[in-house]
Amino acid sequence: MHSKKIDEHTKKHGTALLGGGQDRIKAQHEKGKLTARERIGLLLDEGTFTEIDPLATHHYHEYDMQKKKFFTDGVVGGYGTVRGRQVFVFAYDFTVLGGTLSRMGSKKITKLMRHAVKTGCPIIGIMDSGGARIQEGIMSLDGFADIFYHNQMASGVVPQITASIGPSAGGSVYSPAMTDFVIMVEKVGTMFVTGPDVVKTVLGEEISFDELGGAMTHGSKSGVAHFVAQNEYECMDYIKELLSFMPQNNSQEPPVNSNDDDPNRLDHGLINILPENAQEPYDMKEIITSIVDNHKFFEVHKLFAPNIIVGYARMNGQAVGIVANNPMHLAGALDIDSSNKAARFIRFNDSFNIPIITLVDTPGYMPGSHQEHNGIIRHGSKLLYAYCEATVPRITLVLGKAYGGAYIAMGSKNLRTDINYAWPTARCAVLGGEAAVNIMYRKDLASSDDPESLKKQLWQPPTGQ
């Protein structure tokens, strides 16, 4: 008698492993996509996945839904290890009713999120979902609301990472945006509040899925995606690399890695990176890779707001977050997008005990009506707030220009940065010399017969060295 029940239970587990069935698995593969279980297997250390609630089904009976019951109900989740560290993970299963979220699916996800917070482990979500399950109506929307609430409760307590490897529409896009990092797979992941059909109906605008909410759109324009991966394998590598820089939770220190790079190593090539003419651009990433362990820098948000650089590296094995102006783009000036990008990065690092290194070379905040009308004051202040509230160790190095409000915002000492250094090429001022002369000697220049000669007498362009 008992053996019969065990056999039935084993059979159900076998059925659950097939999700929506072999035909739907085949259709998923034909799209060039892995299944939810294959993705989890790719992420976790082999043989470490323990699934939670594999036999769950929905309890809805209208619209003939009693005939459309599948084990797992569209969400595969549990826990395992990534490079030996325990994480919780859930993946929407597109082979089950298009990966739509049901009330039961949301309960599975929120249970995992509660366990993650309780045990102090990172949580990783893999998106491939048609959004709310329409047949369940408001119950599905309530499910999304529960997930959002748990995203907020986990924020700053355990790291949250999202992989977008399929469609996400409507309510399903907000949970990824509430997590700490989003990785999208090019030509596969899409995210939008309303799809192309709605856009066409309401606005008469013809636009493709990829143009509206594809990986490159969110990686370079909206900033929703922190990383754009070429395929699912690279996506999982990004997650593993990210985790290597962060602790399990906000009560722990980030992992320290031993390496053979002498912390007292001198790089005599540094002096040649800055140009003689201080008005010429240079590649700040060359500076970064020169001063970190083994010249390795893991850039975050690479395609978005490139006038500021953020990312991770190690110094003497210690994980550090780096924030740096990039003179190669907009001369390193701060604007709305770069302020938001850097502020969010700083606040994450402050939550998880990761020191912040700031490299400064900026002519100021970006001028212009577009910036002013879209809230540069409101958004620019977020960067000030992030530096002011940070309690992790902070070191700032001024390499070149540090003018005006941007001098203050980029980790200046009066924001209580721990140590501030300046290279001999540093120039800290309210504004650049030429602009200062134009304002301070406006009347003299206006009345002069040769204003350009007078200006040259009053101001000489600085050299880089």
Measured in Å, how far apart are the chain's first and last C-alpha atoms?
Answer: 87
Nearest to 187 by CA among 219, 230, 218, 221: 230
Q: For residue 10, give both structure tokens.
A: 């084993």
Count CB atoms within 10 A of the CB of residue 162.
28
Looking up tokens 């595969």 gives: 76
Query: Are 355 and 394 contacting, i.e. CB atoms less than 8 angstroms apart?
Result: yes
Name the 3-class secondary structure at 47.
coil
Question: Quick one: CA dihedral 54, 58, 63, 64, positive or negative?
Answer: positive
Query: Are 331 and 341 contacting, i.e. CB atoms less than 8 angstroms apart?
Result: no
* Interatomic CA distance for residues 21 and 333, integer angstroms: 54
Q: For residue 117, give both structure tokens.
A: 């917070």
**Which positions ≥6 away from 401 have C-beta within 8 Å?**
278, 332, 361, 362, 363, 427, 432
Question: Quick one: CA dihedral 13, 19, 23, 26, positive or negative?
Answer: negative
Residues annotated as catalytic (active site), given as ranges: 170-171, 405-406
Which residues share a beta bridge with 428? 402
Looking up tokens 């939810």 gives: 36
* Interatomic CA distance for residues 339 and 312, integer angstroms: 18
Q: For residue 350, give both structure tokens.
A: 């402050």
Length of the chain: 465
Query: Are 79 and 122 contacting, i.e. CB atoms less than 8 angstroms apart?
Result: no
